[in-house]
Structure 1
Amino acid sequence: MLVDVRAIANSRRAGFSKTSLRSAVEEAGIAYLHLRQLGTPKEGRDAARRGDQETLERVYSGQLELPEALAQMAELQSLAEDQTVCLLCYCEEADHCHRRLLVDAVFPDRKRVDL
């Protein structure tokens, strides 16, 4: 399953906006799910663009405390019990991405594989 963890699932890159991405991956036999509340708020995205990891981590930590995010984290945990889950966002560098923070929060005892 491909889990889109972008707050805004749009892209200027062809094929990476939510609708076209969903169609393409489902056509390939892969399930798609957008968990918007697990995305990074604007302040965190801006910090990431500046390379300000400390602010990104602070903002995203606050995001993960919201009730909507907690519910989607529980949904992600449940999905990962039964199938392989791949997280998708914009960031190319996993060590500087909110995906790392999300995996550490949701799956502290699991192995993370960055592709």
Structure 2
Amino acid sequence: MSLDQRTAVIGVGYEGNDLDAFLRQLRSHGVSCLIDVRLTPISRKPGFSKRRLSESLTQQGIDYIHLPQLGNPKWNRLGFAGSAAELAEARTNYETHIASAEAVAALDEIALWAQKGRVALLCFEADERRCHRSVILELIRRHMSQVA
């Protein structure tokens, strides 16, 4: 989990966690809104598919939002697990992918939620450096610093 006090946005990966441990982690960081940036919010891991996760978060007083327009396309995922060069290429590909008006609007939505409270961006990968959410976090931090 990465933490940036300036933006009130953190990244979270549920890899290696069960649902209860994951929810405790969110509560300990004061998360008020979880934004799911998976392209398809389906998981083989119990409790992490969209409906069940949303229900569990609601019980904890945490809002759930799914922004599929910020999901990493399947064709680009292997690069995030590859060599340094493959990772750099995957990050560049992803940045290009989310340059659409829809994705920019989704980034604006994250920034708005971050003004209300602590926001967590969700994907599976535990190592944030190997996940597309790290790119989103960088973009949000730049956006928030320009607004401030």
TM-score category (smaller protein): 0.7 to 0.9
TM (norm. structure 1) is 0.87
* 8 Å CA contact retained: 2:80, 2:91: no
Partner SS state of residue 23, structure 1? helix
Of residues 38, 41, 65 in structure 2, which corresponds to 1:9? 41
Q: Distance in 2 between matches of 1:2 and 1:30?
A: 7
Per the alignment, residue 64 of structure 1 pairs with: 98
Matches within 5 A, 1:1-115: 1-51=33-83, 52-108=86-142
Residue 15 of structure 1 aligns to a residue in which SS?
Answer: coil
Between Structure 1 and Structure 2, which shows a larger proportion of strand residues?
A: 2
Against the structure 1 CA distance between its residues 34 and 109, is the aligned structure 2 distance closer, same or farther, given a 3 Å change threshold?
closer
- The CA RMSD measured in Å over matched residues stands at 1.6
| Matching residue's letter, 2:107 | M
Structure of greater relative contact order (alpha carbons < 8 Å, 6+ residues apart): 2
TM-score (normalised: structure 2): 0.69
- Which residue of structure 2 aligns with residue 113 of structure 1? none
Unaligned runs of 5+ in 1: 111-115
In structure 2, list runs of 5 or more residues that go unmatched. Answer: 1-32
* Greater C-alpha Rg: 2
Q: 1:41–1:59: 8 Å Cα contact kept in structure 2? A: no
1:2/1:88 contact within 8 Å kept:
yes
**Percent of pairs with identical residues:** 32
